[in-house]
Structure 1
């Protein structure tokens, strides 16, 4: 057929890994994958439902596809497609909407690529999303996102992910190891583990709550995969990050000293309203444990501002909590109401302007924290993995502990590892370095 297909992904690393798997399915059927900006016969948009902004961007992306080819077939998959399929189907230009269980079988729905007056919907009840589909994404030839788990059994009061992705379930350990070996065979140097709630790894399919393996079993097994120089844990709940895992990473062959741990609020009152499964003291304990065994570790934090009931006192409690904590950067989310969540029905709604103001304050704190962390690393020897893009004449890379560095563009550095000494922070906040010795043998 030689039909062309293009993909656009909104949202998280997990979505990127699943888009790549769907794309490989198309290529296996003889389709040619092209960039989303090019003319294609089919455009597939993998949607996100976490923020209001991701919802709004969907229509813009559909228009972008229609501009490239007004006659192209447009399909929507992903979390938003599961939660609000009829809403997406009604968007002008959308021909097909697939829910959580259907998205991996998308080519089965493409017998006729003629445009529809209204999008056709194939969406399951989320209870039917009880099987697991493994995925991985290879981005810029230097790192891969490897999905190890899907769904979530937690009931945080603001979150729609359990409604969009279903129950917590995991890939079999041998499948994860096979995927990791496949990635290594492609010359990729780094794997980032991803999922909805990866610390819950081990729960089987069909709602089986028995853990066949634990997250620690997974980490230990992956550490033994030949050919992968770096393994990175993307995001893990503080109550599921155990001392044993922290200690293993500290002495690991491949796992790097970088943790991303959602906090959401530094106020115990707000944490309880959010129905989080920990209080602030446990979070302090996790950070202190990491720093005790890996003083140079990078720790990233997710935080939500403007949650219903968050007074100025609660917000300042969060601000001071984070300011005093030995963390490296923040991902700040401005709370947005999501339908069918408990939080959307709560009183004491925080005005949008106040949410924006608080978000700006925490983003400023993040800049300060990252700068302080980078300064603490100056003069140290680190290993950098260089990335594949020429950005305004510079090549960028990351140290094992997630310090972003820059150097004049040199294509020979792409996807190589080098020992360096970090020397100074440049005007754009990135770090310059001196090479130390030869390229790291891999």
Structure 2
């Protein structure tokens, strides 16, 4: 039995890479450590333990994970270094070989961190606690609570899809979830802690119910009845799992925002086939058109991968033209990178990095056009903004129900409150970072 009294008032630091799911899980790990006596490190302090929650969706994500590990070690040279997350699950030996790492925890083990941290003494050789992904069967619920305005609620984990470019099923295991009752209980807990908005997160959340014989539709109907939550946002849902009943329900629900995130990955049916996706673009277009018919002001974010092995110039131009005519709001563009043990490596026709970058630049430019059009469409409309603690200089920011970014003069008393605003105009130069959004005056 570990003597947890040794951890009283010890200082902890975290760094999270990747998706909202990782942020929710980091929050759960942090809560466990806090209950054992650890406190968050303050500015200028050195941590006694550092936890790095990594990502492995691309080669760049692996590189950023390594950089984060090295940076935390430099910033906290005496700290006990724990590395977990998808990169640690997929490549534990590689992570353990990094100088300064003390403990590598896999996807299951990270939720029992105190079981493996028996002391904070640095180790000469990193310890690995890890099981293979095909053995991952347990579901560990997570709820972020670092931002009292927006919470991330983990509703599902893992993926049974075998897309040819993706390693996430190998890092996260099979699709699994908790029960609706347990998930609703977490939503109620978030409401008690002051959450106004909850984002539903997971790897493939539309597949909710795989391990409990329930459905995602049943889940959102139950969550819609939780008092105290103003808004829910649905995380990424596969187009073949975004059913007509889900779209119709969001259009008439009490709390679900008109905001969808749908991974397209390619606007070319040929490339979708190479990717082993479970739909063709005609289905995707049908879902987008249905959303816009029922919710004309809905925000629709779309994931797109460019430069996939086998993607010809004609394929790319076909995809560009298809996406250009879709009434979507913004693209999240990823440049294809080779991943070990994926079927895409069996496709002979690889593209030079320069070609991939050129296609990425063009797709990003199209995304900017889409977002600009979406903002212009909303000029003159009324919306309700939820003000957040984040601020840029003297301006505080928040989002409307359909994910329009709003700024106004900072007023601390308005954090986590709702305000109805008129969207008169928007700017692309509110900050030096090229921020786009509406600015309102009071």
Shift of 1:139: 3.6
1: CA distance between counterparts of 2:42 and 2:102?
20
* TM, length-normalised to structure 1: 0.95
Q: Which runs of 5+ in 2 are unaligned?
A: 1-7, 430-435
Task: Return the alpha-carbon distance in structure 2 between the equivalents of residues 193 and 332 of structure 1.
Answer: 21
Q: What does residue 143 of structure 1 align with?
A: 150
**5+ unaligned residues in a row in structure 1: which ranges?**
205-210, 436-442
| Count of aligned positions | 429
1:397-416 pair list within 5 angstroms: 397-416=398-417
How far is the alpha carbon of 1:433 from its aligned partner? 3.4
Aligned to 2:77: 70
C-alpha distance after superposition, 1:41-87 (max 9, x if no partner): 11000011102122112232223222222111101111111110000
Distance of aligned partners of 1:139 and 1:371 in 2 relative to their CA distance in 1, 3 Å threshold: farther
1:25-174 maps to which residues of 2 (within 5 A)? 25-34=32-41, 38-174=45-181
Shift of 1:35: 5.6
Superposed counterparts of 1:345-424, under 5 Å: 345-424=346-425
Could you tell me which residue of structure 2 aligns to residue 439 of structure 1?
none
- Equivalent positions of 1:267-278 (< 5 A) are 267-278=268-279
Q: Point out 4+ residue stretches in structure 1 off by more than 3 angstroms.
A: 35-38
- Give me the TM-score of the superposition, normalised by structure 2: 0.95
- 1:166-207 deviations in whole A, cap 9, x for unaligned? 110011111101100000011110000000000000121xxx
The equivalent of 2:257 in structure 1 is 256
2:300 matched to 1:293? no
Is the aligned partner of 1:220 residue 2:218? no
For the 8 Å contact 2:408–2:441, the answer to whether it is kept is no
* Range that drifts further, 211-220 or 232-241: 211-220
Match of residue 438 from structure 1? none
Contact 2:166 2:339 in 1 (8 A): yes
Residue 245 of structure 2 is matched in structure 1 by 244
Per-residue CA distance 1:73-121 (angstroms, 9 max, x = gap): 1011111111100000001111110111111111111113222222111
Question: Is the 8 Å Cα contact of residues 7 and 35 (structure 1) preserved in structure 2?
Answer: no
| 1:258-314 superposed Cα distances (whole Å, 9 cap, x missing partner) | 000000000000001100000000000000000111011110000000000111111
Displacement after TM superposition at 1:390 (Å): 2.4
Q: 1:308 matched to which residue of 2?
A: 309
Q: How many angstroms apart in 2 are the aligned matches of 1:219 and 1:416?
A: 24
SS at match of 1:327: coil
User: Using a 3 Å threshold, how does the CA distance of structure 1 residues 302 and 36 change in structure 2: closer, same or farther?
Assistant: farther
**RMSD value, Cα:** 1.3
- Between stretches 152-161 and 27-36, larger displacement belongs to 27-36
